[in-house]
Structure 1
Amino acid sequence: MTPSEYDLATEHREAETARELGKFMPEELARERAQRGTAQFLPDGADTAGHHLVVAENGSGEVVGNAWIGPDPRRASGTAGAAWLYDINVFPAFRRRGYGSGILSAAEELVAREGWTSLGLNVFGDNEAAIALYQRNGYDVSSMSLRKSVQPAPGIGS
């Protein structure tokens, strides 16, 4: 990934993350949280050790998407050998042509070459296209987080 590709990928990822988080929190807070995530997990940008920021090209050499793969950020017991797909993106003009599956396959090959034993990821629950892509490619739900908005009782929190 070139520096300009990194900048575009970061801008896109942060905007998408903020858009999704904006469903649950104020827009400004969502933007800040997305930017903090980049700073936390990619402190040295594309040169952050242990992380791979890659572009995907088709047979004609056109860049069709990108991905970010690195160590599992959960650092939970049993994840020492696990990699994490932080982001995957197929550009709109190239969607629905199998490139998502191709990028996943290439990510899995990279993970295996690096000696990691699994590849995990998060997906927003309403992203049906992404969920279908992952299921078609053999990914199973390993955990689920649910949320419901509630209104505070009168007089509480004010």
Structure 2
Amino acid sequence: MVTVTVRTMAPVEYADWQRDLAEAYADEQVTAGRWPREGAVQRALDENAAALPQGVDTPRMLVLRGVDAAGEPVGRAWVGLDHPRGAPDVAFLYDIEIVEERRGSGLGRALLAAVEEAVRQAGVGALELNVFGPNAVAISLYDSAGYVVTTQQMRKSL
């Protein structure tokens, strides 16, 4: 069985993650048709800075680095312990990822389990997330980990 533990992200890791996260998030928003491409990365950087004004020390936020049994960094995660829409006793998973060269080896499931445990340890009873429709791999992971659809947005191009 694959094991991953989590720790607070180091400052140098945080800086790299912020850029990677903004680029990925901007691309998802553009692909989903929610944002124009121009200025999307800066918009994502600005939104993340507003959500994490004190970086890894922002209260009620878990900014985590996943490490494998050998202590090697294998992934990152970001959880808000307070739901962005105020749902009581529900944390929100803003980001979770495994380093590209280690994907497909069970680390994603192990990191998700470690994140869930960190949320439990913080005293929160549920974890919610958003996944974009085209991300079939993530949808499959969350489904097999026991997540259920609570809301669904749909769009048709006309």
Question: TM-score of the superposition, structure 2-length normalised?
Answer: 0.88
Q: Secondary structure at the match of 1:27?
A: coil
The count of aligned residue pairs is 147
Q: CA deviation at 1:29?
A: 3.9
Residues 8-62 of structure 1: CA distance to partner in whole angstroms, max 9, x if unpaired?
1111111001111112132124223312320221111111101011111111111
1:37-56 equivalences in 2 (<5 Å): 37-56=47-66
Partner of 1:154: none
Deviation of the 1:148 alpha carbon: 2.9
What SS does the aligned partner of 2:84 have? coil
Percent of residue pairs bearing the same amino acid type? 39
Greater gyration radius: 1
The 2-side partners of 1:124 and 1:32 are apart by 20
Aligned residue number for residue 22 of structure 1: 30
| Number of the residue aligned with 2:145 | 137
* Higher share of residues assigned strand: 2
Mind listing any 5+ residue stretches in structure 2 that lack a counterpart? Answer: 1-8
- The equivalent of 1:67 in structure 2 is 77
4+ residue segments displaced more than 4 Å? none
TM-score w.r.t. the length of structure 1 is 0.88
Structure 1 unpaired stretches of 5+ = 151-158
Matched residue type, 2:135: N
Amino acid at match of 2:85: R
Aligned position for 2:133: 125
Distance 2:27 2:157 in 1: 17
* Separation in 2, partners of 1:36, 1:81: 27
Q: CA RMSD in A?
A: 1.3
